[in-house]
Structure 1
Amino acid sequence: MFRPSRQTLAAALVLASLAVHFGTVVLFSRQPDRFAAFTVIPVWIWGSFGLLLSCGAFLLFRARLSLFMTATWILTVLLVADETRGLARLGSAPLVAGPPARFDGREVVRVATLNRAGSNENFSELIIRHQPDIIFIQEIAHPYRLRQLNETLFQGKGDYRYDKHTRCGLVVRGVIEHHIPNPPALPYRNQQVRAKLPNGRRVELVNVHLQAASTDLTLWKRECWRSHCHNRQERRSEIAFTLQKLEKTNINPKLPAVIIAGDFNAPAGDRVFRLLEDAFSDTFSDAGAGWGNTYHSSFPLLRLDYIFASPAFYTARSRAVRVEESDHRMVVSDLVFR
C-alpha cells in the first residue's frame, strides 16, 4: 500500500496554503460578483485557515518553506484586513461620550448612525451621552421615538423626519428644510433631507438601508453562490439609484456638503462601495480607532454600518459603539467642514 512520505505531506500542506492565499488575494482585490460568497467572509478568517495549513506543515514536518508562507499570510492579513487600520490607531485621541471636542481649534459636527433592528425601547443613555448633531436611524418602529430623541438631545432646537415606507428616520440639531421621499412603488429603503445646522451651514443627508445580506454560508452548494451574487447586485442597484436621486435633487443650490450613512449590509471593501469611492470617503476608514465592525453587536465580525462624507468634510475621529437596544453597533464620526 502506498504511503505518502513526510516530504510529500509537508509539500501538500504548503501548496494548499499557497493555493488558498492566491485565491484570497485575487478574489478580495477584484471582488467578482460570482464569488461574493467567498469575500463576504473576512479576509482574516481565510488567513487563519491558511496559517493553520502552513503552521501545520512546520510543526508536523519541519517544512522550511512553510515559514515563508506563514510570513506571507501574516503580511497579507495586515495589509488587506479592514480591521488593521482601526486597531493601529488605538493610541490616537479617542472619540468619547459627551460634547464633541474641537479639532485643531475648529467646530466639530458629530454624526451617528444606528440600525435599531425594530426595537421599540427608549434610546439608551449611551446614545444620548454621545450627543450627536445628526443621527441616522434605520428600522425604527414608531416616529414618536424620534420625537422623544429630538426633545432629549436638542431641547426644542432640533428637527426630525420619519419615512414610514422605509422605516428610516433622521434627527438633526438645526432645521430640516425639505424631505425628499422615495416613490412608494419602489422597494428601496433610503431617505433624503436637506438640513440647516445652527452654524448656518446647509448639508444634504441621505439615510440608507440596503437589501438584507444573504446569510447562507453553505459554500459547498451552488445556490449559496447564486444567492450572494444576486444579493450584491441588488445592493449595487440600490446605491446607484440613491446616487442618481441625489444628483437630480441636490440642486438650487447644489450643496457640496453631503453625508450618506446607514446600514449597507455589505462588508468593508465590498464591490458595492466602488460607486461611492470617487465622491465620498468612509469616515471610519479615514480616522476610526479600535474595532470598527458593527454586526453582531455582541461579537462583531462584519462592518455593515458606515458614514460616508463628501470632500466638503474631513474626518477628525470615528469609532463603533455598542448600545443596548440593537444587534448592530452604532457608528459615530466627528466631521469638520473644510
Structure 2
Amino acid sequence: MKKSTSIWDRVVFAINLLVAVLLITAGIISFIPFQFVSSFAILSLFVPFFFAFNILFLIYWILKFKRQFILSLVAIFIGYLIFGSFYGIGGNDFTNRTESPSLSIMTYNAWGFNKNGWMKEPGVGDSIVQFIKKQDPDILCIQEHTRIRHRQLKQYPYRSETPYVPQRTIQAIFSKYPIVGNGSLNLPNTRNNIIYADIAHENDTIRVYNIHLQSFRIVPSKDDFSDGEKSEKIYRRMVNTFSKQLEQAEIFRVHLENSPYKNIVCGDFNNTQFSNVYKIVKGDFQDTFLEEGTGFGRTYNLWKIPLRIDYIMADQNFEVLSHQNFDIRLSDHYPVMARLRLKSHE
C-alpha cells in the first residue's frame, strides 16, 4: 500500500512540475516582444488555469505534510510578481464618483450593433444605444461600429470614425468635448484598425486611442478542438493571430511615443493581460480595472471562461477614480467604463 501511494505521489508531482514550469514559462514569454515566440504565446490564454492548478497542488501537498508544496508556492509567487493580481477586490462605487472636472469614458465592442443578426433577440442594436444613453459617458469608444448609428447618439456633438476603406472594421470615438484633431494608424494587411482623437477638455488636450487588434475568429459554438484536423487549423490560426497582434502593438507603441498630449487608451485588444501584446500596449499606463475594478473583470466569454480582453488605460497624468464592468449581454463583448481625473485638476 505504501508503494502504491508513493507511485501516486510521484505522478502527481510530475504533473505539478509541468504546470509550475508552464506558469513560469508563460510569464517569461510575456516579456519577449518577438514574432518567433508566437507559437508559445498561446500559453498566456491558460495562465488563470495554471494559477488555479498550482493552488490545488499547494493545498494537496500541505494537507499531506509534504515539502513538495514548495514547488507550487514558488511558482505562484513568481507568477504573481510577473503578472500581478488579476482579481479585483473592490474599488470605488462608480455611481458615487462624480467629482468635477472628472471625465467618464466607455469602451464597447458593439459587434456591429447586431446588424448581421448574430443575436436572435429583436432590437438588440437599439438596446445598445439605449444602454449607452443611460450610462451617458463623456467619451465613448466603439469597436465594430455601424456608421448610421451616430444618428441615435445626438448627445455627442463630436465624433471621429475609421476612414472609408473597403473590408475594414469601423471604430468610432464620440465626445461631448470638442475634437480638435484625429487620425488613423491604418494597420497593414488586416480588417482591424486603430484610430485616435485629440479632445479639448478644460484647459488641456487629451489624446484618446480606440484600439481593435487582430481577432482570433474563434466561435465557441462552432470551433471544435476535439477534432484533430480542426484543432490543428485553429492552433495555426491562433499562432498567426498572436504574430499579427504583436506587429500591431508595436505600430501603436511607436505612434504613442510621439504623442504630444496626455493619453488614454481604450479598446478590444483580443488578448489577455497575461500576454506580451498587453504588456507592449500598456507600457507604464494605469489599467483602470487593476486600479479600481472588482472581480475577474470579464469582458468576453470563451467556452464559459471569463476573459478580460477589453481595457481602459490612462497615463500617469490621470487619477483613476472608478471602474465598472457591465453584465449586459447585447454583444459578444461586455462594456467597460471608467472615471478619470487629470491630476492637474485636483
Deviation at 1:37, TM superposition (A): 2.0
Paired residues for 1:218-257 under 5 Å: 218=225, 226-247=236-257, 250=259, 254-255=260-261, 257=262
Q: Structure 1 CA distance, aligned partners of 2:8 and 2:256?
A: 57
Residue 243 of structure 1 aligns with an amino acid whose one-letter code is: R
Residues 59-107 of structure 1: per-residue CA shift (max 9 Å, x gap): 8xx5734655676677677766666441x2x2x42223xx8521xxx52
Residue 208 of structure 1 aligns with an amino acid whose one-letter code is: I
**Residue 311 of structure 1 pairs with residue 310 of structure 2:** no
**Residue 282 of structure 1 pairs with residue 290 of structure 2:** no
Identity %: 20
Aligned pair partner of 1:207 in 184, 189, 210: 210
Deviation at 1:207, TM superposition (A): 1.0
Residue 101 of structure 1 aligns with an amino acid whose one-letter code is: T
**Residue 34 of structure 1 pairs with residue 39 of structure 2:** yes
TM-score, normalization by structure 2: 0.77
Contact 2:54 2:76 in 1 (8 A): no
Residue 264 of structure 1 aligns with an amino acid whose one-letter code is: F
Residues 106-125 of structure 1: per-residue CA shift (max 9 Å, x gap): 52101110001122412254
Contact 2:161 2:172 in 1 (8 A): yes
TM-score, normalization by structure 1: 0.78
Residue 151 of structure 2 aligns with an amino acid whose one-letter code is: R
Paired residues for 1:1-338 under 5 Å: 5-31=4-30, 32-41=37-46, 43-50=47-54, 62=64, 64-65=66-67, 84-86=86-88, 88=89, 90=90, 92-96=91-95, 100-102=97-99, 106-118=100-112, 119-120=114-115, 121-122=125-126, 123-140=128-145, 142-149=146-153, 151=154, 153-154=155-156, 158-163=157-162, 164=164, 165-183=168-186, 187=190, 188-197=192-201, 199-213=202-216, 215=218, 218=225, 226-247=236-257, 250=259, 254-255=260-261, 257-296=262-301, 299=304, 301-338=306-343
**Runs of 5+ in structure 2 lacking a partner?**
31-36, 116-124
Q: More displaced, 272-281 or 285-294?
A: 272-281
Deviation at 1:201, TM superposition (A): 2.7
Q: Structure 2 CA distance, aligned partners of 1:56 and 1:4?
A: 19
- Pairwise CA RMSD: 3.4
Q: More displaced, 221-230 or 268-277?
A: 221-230
Report SS of the residue matched to 1:266. Answer: coil
Residue 146 of structure 1 aligns with an amino acid whose one-letter code is: H
Q: Structure 2 CA distance, aligned partners of 1:57 and 1:145?
A: 57
Residue 309 of structure 1 aligns with an amino acid whose one-letter code is: A
Question: How many residues were matched structurally?
Answer: 313
**Runs of 5+ in structure 1 lacking a partner?**
none
Q: Structure 2 CA distance, aligned partners of 1:298 and 1:93?
A: 30
Q: 1:58 to 1:192 in 2, by over 3 A?
A: closer
Q: 1:172 to 1:100 in 2, by over 3 A?
A: farther
Deviation at 1:262, TM superposition (A): 0.7
Residues 222-251 of structure 1: per-residue CA shift (max 9 Å, x gap): 665544333212112112222334455x4x
> What residue is the counterpart of 2:122 in the other structure?
none
Report SS of the residue matched to 1:5. Answer: helix
Q: Structure 2 CA distance, aligned partners of 1:84 and 1:247?
A: 27
Residue 211 of structure 2 aligns with an amino acid whose one-letter code is: V
Contact 1:14 1:54 in 2 (8 A): no
Contact 1:159 1:171 in 2 (8 A): yes
Report SS of the residue matched to 2:307. Answer: coil
